[in-house]
Amino acid sequence: MKEKGLLIVLSGPSGVGKGTVRKALFEQENTQFEYSISITTRPPREGEVDGVDYFFKTREEFERLIKEGKLLEYAEYVGNYYGTPVDYVKETMDAGKDVVLEIEVQGAKQVREKFPDGLFIFLAPPSLEELKNRIVSRGTETEELIINRLEEAKKEIEMMDLYDYVVVNDQVELACERIKAIVKAEHCRRERVAKMYKKMLEGEK
Ligand code: 5GP
């Protein structure tokens, strides 16, 4: 019997390294996940490609998608919209594949309400000092944006309670290993497996 894919939500404060960990996870050869590419109104950073890193849209286009109910969740973050296309996520799960969303915490909260069965992983910084260093050293933000992002990050850390697991991002490779171990274990969770067996047994009657 085919199991539905897992909805894996990787979230956490700004600058914690969600993007880096997610990319490392997908660069590994034996990756068994699919990545849900987000839609954003933020302008592309150097080297970013439309349809690979994000689907880049105007505010008008984004607001139309909201109205048409095409987004599983969305959030306005530091002046730009970010959102997850709902059809891709549903189709991927229905095909039995695990799908990963890498999103900020407001969006993760919305997904939790719609998909309480999802697997919610909070990526945490080893310390606040480390988080600040990472945001500054990324070098892509102005000073004002850095201060904004750090303030957001402090509030975001307080949202850890909404998650099933916490992975400390001390080293990218280690964080990836922990995430893969969590997903493996989640596939064996009794509640998930029992549902499948129940259906099987019902089919036998
Ligand atoms: P950045 O501008 O650095 O690429 O992303 C800013 C923040 O938006 C990051 O925390 C990233 O995880 C988050 N983000 C990316 N895609 C989405 C999305 O589809 N929905 C939400 N809610 N946040 C997203």
Q: How far is the CA of 110 from the centre of ligand 1 (A)?
A: 14
The two most distant CA atoms of the chain are separated, in Å, by 66
Sequence-distant (6+) residues with CB within 8 A of 117 are: 7
Report which protein residue has its CA nearest ligand 1's atom 20: 83
Beta bridge partners of 77: 80
pTM: 0.90
The domain in which residue 187 lies consists of: 7-36+97-204
pLDDT in tens, 121-151: 999 988 878 878 887 887 777 888 888 888 8
| 73 in any annotated domain | no
Q: How far is the CA of 103 from the centre of ligand 1 (A)?
A: 5
Q: What is the pLDDT of residue 1?
A: 62
Residue 12's domain is classified under what CATH number? 3.40.50.300
| 23 in any annotated domain | yes
Strand 80-85 to 71-77 pairing = antiparallel
- Sheet with 39-40, strands from edge to edge, namely 55-56, 39-40, 80-85, 71-77
| 45 in any annotated domain | no
| 30 in any annotated domain | yes
Domain count, the chain: 1
Report which protein residue has its CA nearest ligand 1's atom 2: 42
| 186 in any annotated domain | yes
**Which residues of the chain, if any, have pLDDT below 70?**
1, 204-205
Report the distance separating Cα 13 and Cα 150, nearest Å.
9
